[in-house]
Structure 1
């Protein structure tokens, strides 16, 4: 049932104008005289102003008058020769003013707690509005038939989702284990494996960049342990209760994969994302107990700030199959899948190609764990040598799942630039026809490394592009007269087998609003940050997006989120065609950084304790002392969190030789100080029961069968040292933050301190936000008011755009994490590409 929107009192809006704040021109910063153009006259005005003083610097301590020029080009509170240089640089490489589509309110106006939904609006993409622009239920049925027929095996599960992640169709093949089919909890868990792959492709792709679940693994290289994969959220045995990630087991942390002494790549811990739910566990972290609570709107956003076009989106969560069908009410989503087998779905619409969703194929085996599909064998059973990531990621069943998904998606072929097109007419001749659906193929490079999209990187054994190896693998198995198998199961509580897809809105998904916290951010300040970020995003070269002609060089499309120190979402803006996973990620980043920088909120268990002795000292700003922790109140970003959570410390190093006989129930730091010092202090590899060299369970030869998985309570313990592992086992928490009593569940009057939490992100694109207090240094503020999260087409690009958006709200340099040394290594804060701008 659609909820009724109550009307709220509002002020009559004034004529919109761009907000020109003080001495800085927000619309076009190098336009010093405000005439709408950037010319040498603008640089001359800065030079003349400096010449009237000592010629080096002017501190802007008084408000600008209506006729004063915008001398502060870089918006740092000072006029220096750098401001003139920035004008000259802009003349050499012109900057376009920001679109009028995101105008700010009248300068000097006040919101008075109201939300402006007339000027801060959302819309649907033009292609989504055309007839046939989205996925239709009948097409979902054909996709499931094509996938089931593409391989002679009959023990797979296939799922189709739309771009928002809604489950549109599920096929359970006839030979899926009877034990899974007979148990609603187990069946939901197995289906969630296919759903996770489908969502990954839908969430990470765009209209000009096909990113598959294989690609996401390639650019994440997360540390994923056996304990996390060989588990299920509803498992009866606490030794096997856990997140059930659909990912290859391994230490990861190297890019290119498995090349020693190389650094961590972009998306560490991505498997943990997109697990937020309408139903949240309470303080005990266990769903299905008395302290659970329910949200009315995703991310607990204020419904008064949701534009009408975005209403439906905020009533959709990336739920488990068991939740959406009401067959397993304590099930949890399995997050982002990084085993191959998830492929985006594209549809021809009015001569263009539109991303409409994703398809995922998963082979669950007897238990539903992803260990079956990747052919996992413990290193102890292989003479102590672990399988490689390549062997697990390219196991036969994984390649089979990936081929099935690709074949199903390519109803009218595989398109791209000539060198990337492939003829699959022979495959399509054997499968049910699916007009208008195509697979996109192309080349995406990240820091000079070509990413895997379909199939693995060529090797000495297979000297062909990955897509050709994959197609050859599938052609050898498809048979001459393939037939579908199994049944389609209901995808909602009403019993529907197939659903139409829905679009994801763009623009202001959450309109700017004032923080309810006294002295907090205003709606105008939220809009100011987003506008500055959008302007920079348009000038920044994307890492994982291609131009419409599938050549490199596209500009980034980003999602921006601002939250206050209670986690209230004060604004969310999605640029056109920005990746959907970025909505969840940007909001979490904003909340993470606001919490961690708050000295009154940070709990002891979340503090950095490098030597794990519980003493939190010494604090160091010099390489003369290695440093054990950071001062409470230090400003960290999600880049800092990633650095601390890596499997090797610092990133790019290697662990010392493995001569240690591991004790399963003892933390690594209590077994070897040397080994402890080489593992990130936030990493789960420091915890008991995990082999830090393989990420496998520690085995005890004295235990029958050798396995020694430790129970759920060990890894869900709010007192252990790893935020990364706590986030895996207790979804949708903001570190161990107990929350704030003032937080309510939106749509009710009930207090729920944990309602404004949706997990932790361990990759860059964020900052805590500060206002300047009297006497603050020119480098930044000291009054913490919230956090900013940015997510889109590459994490270094996220930092570039964040830097532009945060200007005027950044922390004082003395507060930043990069002032401090931990474990003999300087902490990172933000990092930028050498040449982030668009060429030409």
Structure 2
């Protein structure tokens, strides 16, 4: 593929438009919103229903073996590679660069229509160092997986494209169910931690990813004694792309190299992605099989210094091999909640590595804007009721069948301040950042200040997306707080066709047109963080730039000094805004299972928590986005939430979201 080193041409623009140096850290904080505290009457708290994952971790010797096996396969295929290994919470345990490996890679310009796109659109056609591609792939394998599902970067590729499943014969089907998830775990995220924090906090997660989640085959999860412990990523061919056709099996050298690396650390066969279906379609895990591999080589001493070298990667690794941190330990950044923090005995929270909950339940900070901010008791009611719904819900992406859903639940106020994060013990790590993205996204677009914030973004293209949306809605006052937008609503208007999947229709107003669309070019979602990604890529490859700030986007800060979209925008389902009467006061976001499950847990959590507190809940029906009819054909309503059929393991209830 032709190189198009856009990085050099963007240097001057970044010097002018950069958000500045790498400052700012996330803080859970304590405090309340100053509003009266209701006296909620919670239902009896159930006993533990989830198994706690064993605290397994990769040793230094394990990491050496994984790298040596991958390098041996690369040697056999005569394809020098970059190999990266991470632990479950994203710490980079080692990066090995073989002699002759390509130092740079190009993000693909292949569009959803199969045409090579020569225009500079979003993150297409960027030439960046290959090490960050390998790290992003390893993180993807680790973050998308759990004890109940093992997903690869090939799996990720399948669920983020313009049609699901992606192939030349599926034009006219809806977009991938997780379209947009690739722009999570961003290097600018205020939630994800950074390498080199120091002291007891050096290894807390989740860590950021240099390019978000990867859709390029060549990344797998790693398991030890059946427990998820990390991921491996391989970059060798210089093309950081995606698989646009899942109807054939190809010979993929990068995937074969990574597959060799996971031998002895492979996931249980029963939970690999190809055993899991979405809308009747089996997901993909790997086109390569162990039988395709050369005899394994696992002597790290035989390759280190002769076949290649361990390398330092700015912002991610100091060039040595380190052992993994066991997930669930204090040092990992995830631990079991204390009874004083959350009453469910199997709940997990994020820790600062020194014993403190990073995001304790608290009241809102936005009383000046909303009149009566959410109190800590109201926040607690919503989070507890959402957790209760999750613990009853049938999982979509976990095996065995009829497992319980395991997700992360985040709650924010209208400034985007975190009011609490809680999760099931084995929920996939990716859902931590994504649940917060979703909550902030719906709080932002339902907010009276949304339009002005977009207009004030210094990137000239961002206000254009707002104008397109106002034309689309035939409403010059759209996004001024009149409408409550759920995550599914924002997803509707962020797809390359509206209605989603109808090939004859133009794109939604927040999306790129189909001739430009691909996983690196989604539209407003990436336009908001493009400068952050470019600044970070320059920083990693040694250009004279400070790192991107730990606050995403260039929209103006809220009155508390924080960006309302501080870890980026998300465009798939699983979040709803929360109202007190007709006033927006916050939002809840859920991520980690099927999108309908995520919708249901957030929607019923907001409803049941509001009923319990007696003061807040879901948006009034008459202002929800599904009241909007777009004049396409006979008219198409936006969507709000979509709840699954027979969702609970303990009852046969149907239509559980009806009337709420």
TM-score normalized with structure 2 length: 0.70
Instruction: State the match for 1:451 in structure 2.
Output: 283
Q: 3-state DSSP class of the match of 1:533?
A: helix
SS of the counterpart of 2:216? Answer: coil
Secondary structure of the residue that 2:312 maps to in structure 1?
A: coil
**Structure 1 residue aligned with 2:289:** 470
1:491 Cα deviation from its structure 2 partner? 5.5
* Residue 317 (structure 1) shift: 3.4
| Residue-by-residue CA offset, 1:79-130 (whole Å, 9 max, x unaligned) | xxxxxxxxxxxxxxxxxx534899xxxxxxxxxxxxxxxxxxxxx95611xx
**How far is the alpha carbon of 1:257 from its aligned partner?**
4.2
Structure-2 change in CA distance of 1:838 and 1:216 (3 Å): farther
SS at match of 2:493: helix
Q: Give the aligned partner of residue 141 of structure 2.
A: 201
Aligned with residue 408 of structure 1, among 261, 267, 272: 261
Partner Cα separation in structure 2 for residue 335 and residue 157 of structure 1: 18
Aligned-pair distance for 1:277?
A: 3.2
Asked whether the equivalents of residues 263 and 651 of structure 1 are also in contact (C-alpha less than 8 Å), the reply is yes
Does the C-alpha gap of structure 1 residues 539 and 311 become closer, same or farther in structure 2, counting only changes over 3 Å?
A: farther
1:98 counterpart = 2:46: yes
Matches within 5 A, 1:251-266: 252-255=162-165, 257-258=167-168, 259-266=170-177
After TM superposition, the structure 1 = structure 2 runs for residues 104-115 of structure 1, keeping only pairs within 5 Å, are none
User: 1:635 aligns to what?
Assistant: 484
Counterparts of 2:213 and 2:202 in 1: how far apart (Å)? 22
Q: Specify the alignment match of 1:664 in structure 2.
A: none
Determine if contact 2:485/2:577 at 8 Å carries over to the other structure. yes
> How many residue pairs were aligned?
523
Give, in angstroms, the shift of residue 187 of structure 1.
10
2:598 is matched with which residue?
798
Matched, 1:212 2:12: no
Q: Secondary structure at the match of 1:834?
A: coil
Alignment of 1:768 with 2:572, yes or no, is no
Whole-Å separation in 1 of the counterparts to 2:564 and 2:484 = 23
Q: Point out where structure 2 has 5 or more consecutive residues left out of the alignment.
A: 1-26, 32-37, 106-125, 336-347, 351-358, 456-461, 533-549, 611-616, 652-660
Is residue 341 from structure 1 mapped to residue 218 from structure 2 by the alignment?
yes
Show the counterpart of 2:654.
none
| Aligned twin of 1:622 | none
Task: Write the distance in 1 (CA, Å) between the matches of 2:310 and 2:591.
Answer: 36
1:316, distance to aligned residue in structure 2 (A): 5.8
Secondary structure of 2:419's counterpart equals strand
Corresponding residue for residue 381 of structure 2: 528
What is the match of residue 738 of structure 1?
556
With over 3 angstroms needed to count, the CA separation of the structure-2 counterparts of 1:364 and 1:728, relative to structure 1, is: farther
Mapped pair 1:318 → 2:228: no
Choose the corresponding residue for 2:417, options 554, 568, 571: 568
What is the DSSP-based 3-state SS (H/G/I as helix, E as strand, rest coil) of the residue aligned with 2:256? helix
User: 1:567: how far off?
Assistant: 1.2
Secondary structure of 2:364 counterpart:
coil
Shift in Å, 1:617: 6.0
- After TM superposition, the structure 1 = structure 2 runs for residues 643-654 of structure 1, keeping only pairs within 5 Å, are 643-654=492-503
SS of 1:583's equivalent in the other structure is: helix
SS of 2:289 mapped into structure 1: helix
Aligned twin of 1:166: 91
Q: Which residue of 2 aligns with 1:665?
A: none
From 154, 172, 179, the counterpart of 1:268: 179
Q: Aligned in 2, Cα 1:495/1:826: closer, same or farther, shift over 3 Å? A: closer
Q: Helix, strand or coil for the counterpart of 2:232?
A: strand
The one of 394, 398, 408 equivalent to 1:541 is: 394
Q: Deviations over 1:255-278 (max 9, x none)?
A: 364413221231111221111337
* Aligned pairs for 1:141-156 within 5 A: 141-151=64-74, 152=76, 153-156=78-81
Compared CA separation, residues 630 and 523, structure 1 to 2 (3 A)? closer
1:501 aligns with 2:324: yes
Deviation (angstroms), 1:472? 4.4
1:489 to 2:311 alignment: yes
Taking the aligned partners of 2:377 and 2:200, their CA distance within structure 1 comes to 21
Is the CA contact (8 Å cut-off) linking 1:254 and 1:261 kept in structure 2? no
Q: CA deviation at 1:389?
A: 3.3
Cα distance in 1 between the residues matched to 2:412 and 2:177: 23
Distance of aligned partners of 1:613 and 1:173 in 2 relative to their CA distance in 1, 3 Å threshold:
closer
Q: 1:765 to 1:168 in 2, by over 3 A?
A: same
Q: Superposition RMSD on alpha carbons, in Å? A: 4.1
Can you list the C-alpha shifts for 1:429-450, whole angstroms capped at 9, x where unaligned? xxxxxxxxxxx67611112111
Deviation at 1:178, TM superposition (A): 6.5
Say if 1:723 and 1:735, in contact at 8 Å, map to a contact too: no
Match of 1:157 in 2: 82
Specify which of 440, 446, 450 is matched with residue 591 of structure 1: 440
| Structure 1 residues 635 and 613: CA distance shift in structure 2, 3 A | closer
- SS of equivalent residue, structure 1 residue 561: strand
Identify if the C-alpha distance between structure 1 residues 613 and 480 changes in structure 2 by more than 3 Å, giving closer, same or farther.
closer
Structure 1 residues 558 and 409, CA gap change in structure 2 (3 angstroms): same
Q: 1:271 aligns to what SS in structure 2?
A: helix
Structure ranking higher on relative contact order (CA contacts 8 Å, 6+ apart): 2
Gaps of 5+ in 1: 1-5, 11-18, 29-96, 103-123, 181-185, 222-251, 279-294, 304-308, 320-332, 375-387, 421-439, 456-468, 620-626, 656-676, 686-691, 698-711, 716-720, 744-752, 772-780
Answer yes or no: is 1:361 the counterpart of 2:361: no
- What is the CA–CA distance in structure 2 between the aligned matches of 1:650 and 1:536, rounded to whole Å? 30
Match of 1:513 in 2: 362
Q: Per the alignment, do residues 179 and 449 of structure 1 end up closer, same or farther by CA in structure 2, a change over 3 Å counting?
A: closer
- Partner residue in 2 for 1:681: 509
Cα offsets for 1:582-627 (capped at 9, x unmatched): 11011111111111111134335578979939667635xxxxxxx9
Is 1:134 matched with 2:63?
no
- Cα–Cα, structure 1 residues 356 and 788, in superposed 2: closer, same or farther, change >3 Å? same
Q: How far is the alpha carbon of 1:554 from its aligned partner? A: 0.8
Pair 597,402 (structure 1): closer, same or farther in 2 beyond 3 Å: same
Larger mean CA deviation between 536-545 and 510-519 belongs to 510-519
- Mark the CA change 1:589 to 1:557 in structure 2 (over 3 Å): closer, same or farther: same
Instruction: Provide the residue aligned with 2:111 in structure 1.
Output: none
Q: Is the 8 A contact 1:208 1:545 kept in 2?
A: yes
The 3 A distance-change label for structure 1 pair 734 and 359 is: closer
Deviations 1:178-232 (A, max 9, x none): 689xxxxx997210111111000100100121111111222222xxxxxxxxxxx
CA distance in 2, matches of 1:266, 1:791: 12
- Return the alpha-carbon distance in structure 1 between the equivalents of residues 628 and 104 of structure 2: 54
Q: Is the 8 A contact 2:410 2:422 kept in 1?
A: yes
Find the partner of 1:389 among 232, 235, 245.
Answer: 245
Per the TM alignment, residue 27 of structure 1 is displaced from its structure 2 partner at its CA by 1.2
Alpha-carbon distance in 2 for matches of 1:414, 1:786 = 39
- 3-state SS of 1:742 partner: coil
Equivalent pair of 1:610/1:823 in contact (CA under 8 Å): no
Q: Is the 8 A contact 1:256 1:449 kept in 2?
A: no
CA contact (8 A) 1:512 1:523 kept: yes
Partner of 2:8: none
Partners of 1:162 and 1:576 lie apart in 2 by 17
Query: Does the CA-based 8 Å contact 1:553-1:839 persist in structure 2?
Result: no
**CA shift in 2, pair 1:192/1:543, >3 Å:** same
Post-superposition CA distance 1:128-168 (Å, at most 9, x none): 1xxxx211222111211111002322421110001111111
Kept in 2, the 8 Å contact 1:361–1:405? The answer is yes
CA contact (8 A) 1:790 1:802 kept: yes
